[in-house]
Every structure is written in structure tokens, then in C-alpha cells.
């Protein structure tokens, strides 16, 4: 998808949200919600009307309302569908990487994995640990530094910055998810 179309669909999605919240939204309301200037909002609305994504209804000589057309709704729905497809594909890849990591860690003799820090994919690591019969612990780095005397634990840092000080029984989520040579 070209960048201009992607930007248009993003703005169209914001416009849909604005009109859902306030069907009588003025150009000024739309500009405020989309983060565009009033002039840019005017130009964008004209372009969307020309593309058939938006219809304008003139209520009075000074009052108009905007409505997304079926085609406009289709564009927003299509983008959402493609986004969800991409997200599910990534989650499957990340899940597979986590399963492979847990299997490798278990083969190396570790009985638990400690995740240090917060991340959006912690649930995938927890699932992989349960599937691989490896105990999963989530805690912050400060707590780990004072308590990690257990040499049967493998530590995964959610923060990539920890990469510089890794020991044999440690890695980062970044390496698990993006370093093809790691697994």
C-alpha cells in the first residue's frame, strides 16, 4: 500500500471515529480530532468526497454534515482486516520463537524462566513455558538483582539495553524475536 493511501486511510479512520462520537462535527471539530489544520481538513474532506469515501449534506447555507459512505467504511474495514492479519502473523511467529527458546532452555537444563520487565508479548512466553513444562516467573530487574542465586533459572530481559551485560543464562526478548542466529 502506498504511503499516501495509507495516510488517507488513517485520517479516514480518525474521521469515522469523530463522526461516530459526534455526527454533527464541524470541520473545526474534525481538524481538532485528526490533528490537522483547518485548511488541511478542508482539502482532505474535498479529496475524500471526490474519492467517494465521504458525502456532504448541506443543512443550511452555513451548516453541513459529513457521512462516511459505504465505500469509505469499506476502506476503513479493509485496513483493519489487513492490520489484524499482520498482527496475527507476527503473534504466530513470536509464539513459535518463544516455544523454540523454551525448548532450547529446557535442553540446557534450566527449569524456570524469569522475565524481567514489562512487555506486550509476555503472555506468549508464559504460554510457551506452560507448554514446555518450564516454570515461568515475571518480576522486575531490581528484585532479580537481589534474588537471582538460583542457577536453574534462565533470565530473559524485556529491555534490549540489558544486552551489554548478559551472562550465559540470560538473553533479551529482542534476540529471541529478531535474531535468526539465536535460536
3 state SS of 158: coil
CA–CA separation, 167 and 126 (whole Å): 22
CA distance 173 to 178: 8
The pLDDT value given to residue 129: 94
Residues 114, 140: contact at Cβ < 8 Å? no
- Predicted TM-score (pTM) of the model is 0.63
Q: Can you tell me whether residue 115 is helix, strand or coil? A: strand
The confidence score (pLDDT) of residue 50 equals 95
Torsion sign over Cα 35, 36, 42, 44: negative
- pLDDT value at position 149? 56
Of 114, 170, 171, the C-alpha closest to 139 is 114
* Cβ pair 64, 77 in contact under 8 A: no
Per-residue pLDDT of the chain in tens (183 residues, 90 and over written 9): 456 657 888 889 999 999 999 999 999 999 998 889 999 999 999 999 999 999 999 988 888 999 999 999 998 898 889 889 999 999 999 999 999 999 999 998 999 898 888 888 889 999 999 999 999 988 865 455 445 555 678 888 887 655 556 667 777 777 777 776 655
Cell output for 108: 540446557
Return d(Cα 65, Cα 9) in angstroms, integer: 20
Q: Which residues contact 71 (CB under 8 A, 6 or more apart)?
A: 51, 52, 53
Which whole-number Å values give the CA distances from 96 to 83, 91, 102, 171, in the listed order? 20, 8, 10, 17
Amino acid at each position: 500500500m502506498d504511503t499516501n493511501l495509507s495516510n488517507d486511510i488513517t485520517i479516514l479512520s480518525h474521521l469515522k471515529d469523530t463522526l461516530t462520537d459526534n455526527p454533527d462535527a464541524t470541520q473545526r471539530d474534525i481538524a481538532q480530532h485528526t490533528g490537522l489544520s483547518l485548511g488541511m481538513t478542508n482539502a482532505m474532506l474535498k479529496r475524500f468526497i471526490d474519492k467517494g469515501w465521504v458525502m456532504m449534506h448541506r443543512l443550511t447555507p452555513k451548516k453541513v454534515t459529513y457521512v462516511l459512505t459505504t465505500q469509505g467504511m469499506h476502506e476503513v474495514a479493509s485496513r483493519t482486516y489487513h492490520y489484524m492479519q499482520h498482527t496475527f502473523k507476527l503473534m504466530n511467529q513470536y509464539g513459535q520463537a518463544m516455544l523454540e527458546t523454551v525448548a532450547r532452555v529446557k535442553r540446557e537444563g534450566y527449569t524456570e524462566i524469569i522475565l524481567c520487565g514489562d512487555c506486550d508479548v509476555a503472555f506468549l512466553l508464559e504460554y510457551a513455558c506452560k507448554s514446555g513444562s518450564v516454570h515461568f516467573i515475571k518480576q522486575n530487574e531490581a528484585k532479580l538483582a537481589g534474588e537471582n542465586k538460583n542457577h536453574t533459572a534462565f533470565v530473559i530481559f524485556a529491555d534490549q539495553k540489558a544486552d551489554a551485560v548478559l551472562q550465559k543464562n540470560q538473553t533479551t526478548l529482542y534476540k529471541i524475536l529478531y535474531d535468526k542466529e539465536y535460536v
